[in-house]
Amino acid sequence: MDRTDLATHLEQELNKWSARSYESLRSELKGHNYADAEGPEHHLEVTLLEDGAEYVHVEISVCSPAVPRSCIHPLSTSFLVYKDGRVDKPAL
């Protein structure tokens, strides 16, 4: 495993989480982060950065103990989901 593998995993998580609705993200992430150690290979953290009246701003970070220093400096990205269903996310 290397940082390229982590980038692929980050893109998969970005697509998965950004497909959720505004209300779903608000209810699941409000007041706490989502964290998952997906076996020994990946660690995932999802954070609600902004909980706006019209949008939510969410950050996703991934790391792996198998990739040196990746858990000190995880790969991360963020996206916006609007109340009307629009999604702004980066191309990775």
Give residue 78's pLDDT. Answer: 98
Domains contained in the chain, number: 1
Mean pLDDT across the stretch 21-28?
Answer: 96
Over residues 40-91, the pLDDT tens digits come to: 788 999 999 999 999 999 999 999 999 999 999 999 999 999 999 999 999 9
Domain that holds residue 63: 3-87
Kindly state whether residue 83 falls inside one of the protein's structural domains: yes
Contact 85, 60 (CB under 8 A): no
Kindly state whether residue 18 falls inside one of the protein's structural domains: yes
Kindly state whether residue 92 falls inside one of the protein's structural domains: no
d(Cα 59, Cα 61) in Å, to the nearest integer? 7
| 3-state class (DSSP) for residue 84 | coil
In the chain the beta strands, taken as DSSP E runs, fall at 34-38, 42-51, 55-63, 75-82, 87-88
Half-sphere exposure of 16 (CA within 13 A, CB side): 9
**What are the beta bridge partners of residue 45?**
35, 61
Kindly state whether residue 79 falls inside one of the protein's structural domains: yes
Kindly state whether residue 63 falls inside one of the protein's structural domains: yes
Is residue 38 over pLDDT 70?
no
Give residue 32's pLDDT. Answer: 84
d(Cα 48, Cα 32) in Å, to the nearest integer? 8
Kindly state whether residue 37 falls inside one of the protein's structural domains: yes
Half-sphere exposure of 5 (CA within 13 A, CB side): 12
Give residue 40's pLDDT. Answer: 72
